[in-house]
Amino acid sequence: MIELRTPAEIEAMRPAGRFVAEVLATLRDQTRVGTNLLDIDRRAHEMIRKVGAESCYIDYHPSFGASPFGKVICTSINDAVLHGLPFDYAIRDGDLVTLDFAVSVDGWVADSAVSFVVGTPRDEDLALIDTTERALDAAIGAAVVGNRIGDISAAVAAVAHGEGLSINTDFGGHGVGREMHGDPHVPNDGKPGRGYPLRAGLVLALEPWFLQSTDQLRTDADGWTLRSADGSRGAHSEHTIAITEDGPVILTDRSFLGVS
């Protein structure tokens, strides 16, 4: 069921969005060569406990997951792009890292992801990250009253296709509210003018993610981590936004922290 939020409810969602933004900015700043993925998860867990938030991941067990996730943050490295289950791995120079984080604060959820390179970057990795970020900007720009879900999807796809990338639509954006994943599904490819009409009060997590040379995924032995089928690298950018009569509001915006 698609739910629309009142202006007061959207205001009530801001603390969750701000906290998610702060955690991702902090963890990104603290992640360097030698940082262990389990330490990233532990630090995220500490920050959750400190503010009394609730993890959306630790007990999460959808049909596509082999078991409850068991951690509080997704850490995807290089050819992993989604649902990366933290494990005993020390980040190496040049690794492409994606952190995806969602929590509930006072019963309201926010969800966001950021990709970045640790240490010496490859030009192609920076270009892929930039493409996901530009696709996210385009998606947010299309998230206005009077448009439809297909307009958001088409905006994402236009950026990806402009860079010669193919698109997987199995996983994409989604509604956000009291739960992490709700209706509607927002695929990263679609036709403008199609799908659910965008109305004020709709809150969505928009999340372009792309792989460098494929749109096919394989699941790791951990039952969660999704990697590219051909070993090429992936990047993922995500924000939780609210559609209002005055335009989209980015609830997980990190710019107030002086970072993107």
List the beta bridge partners of residue 250: 241
Radius of gyration of the chain (CA): 17
Annotated binding residue at 207? yes
Between CA 34 and CA 45, with CA 40 as vertex, the angle to 5 degrees is: 160
8 Å CB contact between 99 and 75: yes
Average pLDDT over residues 56-79: 95
Residues 195-220: tens digit of each pLDDT: 999 999 999 999 999 999 999 999 99
The kind and range of the H/E element at 110 are strand 108-117
Annotated binding residue at 83? yes
Annotated binding residue at 238? yes
Annotated binding residue at 239? no
The kind and range of the H/E element at 159 are helix 149-162
Residue-averaged pLDDT of the chain: 97
Annotated binding residue at 222? no
Q: Decide: residue 222, CB within 10 A, 0-12 exposed, 13-18 middle, 19+ buried.
A: middle
CA distance 11 to 58: 26
- Kindly list the strands in the beta sheet with 226-228, ordered across the sheet, starting from the edge strand earlier in the chain: 80-82, 226-228, 217-219
Residues 128-177: tens digit of each pLDDT: 999 999 999 999 999 999 999 999 999 999 999 999 999 999 999 999 99
Token output for 201: 């009060």
- Look at residue 259 and tell me whether its pLDDT is greater than 90: no
Provide the 3-class DSSP secondary structure of residue 167. Answer: coil
- Residue that is written with structure tokens 């299309």 in the block: 142
Residues 229-243: tens digit of each pLDDT: 999 999 999 999 999
Token output for 42: 């532990």
CA distance 107 to 177: 8
Task: Name which residue leads in pLDDT, 80 or 64.
Answer: 80
Q: How far is CA 133 from the centre of its chain?
A: 11
Read off the pLDDT band of 255 (50, 70, 90): confident
For 117-130, b/e burial (b = at least 16 CB within 10 A) is bbeebeeebeebbe
- Domain 7-253 in CATH 3.90.230.10? The answer is yes
- Look at residue 102 and tell me whether its pLDDT is greater than 90: yes
pLDDT on residue 10: 98
Of all residues in the chain, what percent carry a pLDDT higher than 90? 95
> What is the reported pTM?
0.97
List the beta bridge partners of residue 239: 206
